Amino acid sequence: MRNLTLLGDSYLRNGVVGLTRELTVPSSSSGSVIYNYPISFFDLETNITASFSTRFSFSIDNINPSSFGDGLTFFLSPNNQTLGSPGGYLGLVNSSQLTKNRFIAIEFDTKLDLHFNDPDDNHVGLDIDSLISVKTVNPMSRAINLKSGNLITCWIDYLNERKKLEVFLSYSSFKPDEPLLSVDIDLSDYLKDFMFVGFSASTEGSTELHYVENWSFQTLGFRPVRPRIHPHNVSDNTLPLRPPIPVSDSGSRNHKRVGLGLGIGFPAFFCAVLVVFGWVSVKKWRGSKEEKNLKAELVTGPRQFDYKELKLATRGFHPSRILGHGAFGTVYKAFFVDSGFIAAVKRSKHTHEGKTEFLAELSIIACLRHKNLVQLLGWCVEKGELLLVYEFMPNGSLDNVLYPDSENGNPLQWTHRYNIAVGLASALTYLHQECEMQVIHRDIKTSNILLDVNYNARLGDFGLARLMDHGKSPVSTLTAGTMGYLAPEYLQYGKATEKTDVFSYGVVILELACGMRPIERERESQKMVNLVDWVWKLYSEGKIVMAADERMEGDFDELEMKKLLLVGLSCANPDSLERPSMRRVFQILNNEAEPLVVPKAKPSLTFSNSLPLSINEIVSDCEEEVCGSPGSQFEIRVD
């Protein structure tokens, strides 16, 4: 992050770049962020101009949907101080000197500005040294609304050999087969010597917000010595991104005047009246239908699926499509033949409890937007079925990757493990401190952490989650969760707080580092081993790094391993008051804060009322066919 220069009103917060001011009242603002080091696009020796490729994710949100901003751009410029004016200038050019700044830019424009020949208020365009675009396209043709508040991933590819620039957009992390914008153009005259790359955005008397995250950039075609921009996989959205409420436009830009000549005589007049009446009725019906279709496209976020559509996509919920089972339902892989899209469908159990958890999950996760949360795409309530549709995670759950069925499988790489720990910390920071209402997950465990194509963590399964006002005292509830992940005070009093989530997170972190389940039975003695106790014992003996997963065969960063283990212990501290906040954990893992001091001996706690059963007693009471194999987990619910 030290490789970025922030200009104007831009800022950096927990891995996310905000380009304009974050205010609840309308304001005019502009900002840009530029990679510090110039990048060479031209090789003097071979006279070759480089091709380039970049990928990033962005979102454009608005606290007040009726207050429109102007949009953002990705640009290449010979100037490392590129900052333009607020308003329709996209933070790219100065209002008084429109031709001063030199640039190649892809604009994501969210406001109709006739001064720059904008076609509409939702378009993507290629700009070269001017905000009058060379070519534009409306992404609604791909059902993408730039102002939706949803995270949008963009790929921009320029192939010098083909003299072609292509722009791809998607709500998912999968690159579409066909570009949204394709321009046949030779950029070699503009990509001379060195260029700087970055982003800019602007507003004019609005509350529009612009965020950029997860950025990578590379040049292709020759190999001069140049720095590289590394992608950042972890985000922490500073505001819950909500889809804007669509405002219908009752006016039309093209009003047609129709004149009808009345013939002589009653028959001719009567026929003319019928023609006019029929024409008006058809036009009104078509206009109403188009308006409904447009509203359906503009309303983004979770949508209602048709039951037949989901049944067909899952082959009638065929057993071969099962991805996994949860406490409240089964998850199926859904393949939509028409679009080629893949999703995961959660089918809840037909019980009163299942319906309650279904409604809880739908109401909570529908308004959450974060890079490290599984995105809810939609739902279906038909034929007595309760169905939730999620993004499909190609690498499955952390549980399956960390503990594969076959012992011959390759162990999860250390870089992926550490990145998962950081991503999960970022998601919990968002849930605990960034949302309008605090979200307590209550069921953080490896089977509820899914992995995308790049092994980034995505926290899912909000069936047990609870909403709370920030700073409000927790209320006792029915204890629910999985044995080994439950904090001592939660088992005792049934009060779920952000600190009970922190405890569960600590256990997951120790699993990542050690490759052991929270509670395991020793193969030789058949005694139950508690992971937290085992790691703490090694730490007290000064041998904490020996807790590292043996399957990695020492292929890890020792300092990072020690840091992760100590963070895990500090989060799993029996004393909830000594556990850090998730924001502090996130900062420690990102080297933005000093590590916490962990006591050498594990603290012990006593409660006024003792548990009816100890952990060992609960485990020993399980039936042999459930508990007999190493690595079994035990789910408990106290009703």
d(CA 626, CA 139): 52
Instruction: State the residue for tokens 């804007």.
Output: 244
Segment holding 481, helix H or strand E: strand 480-482
Contacts of 344 by beta carbon, 8 Å cutoff, 6+ apart: 323, 331, 332, 333, 334, 389, 390, 391, 392, 393
Instruction: Say which of 9, 443, 461, 549 is annotated catalytic.
Output: 443
Segment holding 268, helix H or strand E: helix 266-298
d(CA 267, CA 457): 74
Segment holding 520, helix H or strand E: strand 519-521
Segment holding 203, helix H or strand E: strand 194-206
| Residue 160 CB neighbours (<10 A) | 21
Query: Binding site annotation covers 346?
Result: yes
Contact 328, 354 (CB under 8 A): yes
Nearest to 199 by CA among 209, 212, 218: 212
Contact 375, 459 (CB under 8 A): no
Residue type for position 231? P
3-state secondary structure of 83: coil
DSSP symbol at 366: T
What the block records as the tokens of 241 is: 């991104």
Q: Output 390-393 pairs: Cβ under 8 A, ≥24 positions apart.
A: 390/343, 390/344, 390/345, 390/346, 390/460, 391/172, 391/343, 391/344, 391/452, 391/458, 392/333, 392/334, 392/342, 392/343, 392/344, 393/344, 393/450, 393/451, 393/452, 393/458
Contact 438, 432 (CB under 8 A): yes
d(CA 81, CA 442): 47
Contact 107, 60 (CB under 8 A): no
Contact 569, 506 (CB under 8 A): yes
Burial zone of 284 (CB within 10 Å; 0-12 exposed, 13-18 middle, 19+ buried)? exposed
Segment holding 378, helix H or strand E: strand 376-382
Contact 385, 410 (CB under 8 A): no
Enumerate the H helices of 217-265 as residue ranges.
none
d(CA 181, CA 199): 19
d(CA 512, CA 417): 6
Burial zone of 213 (CB within 10 Å; 0-12 exposed, 13-18 middle, 19+ buried)? buried
The answer to whether residue 443 is catalytic is yes
Annotated binding site: 346
Which sequence positions are flagged as catalytic? Answer: 443
Annotated binding site for ATP: 346
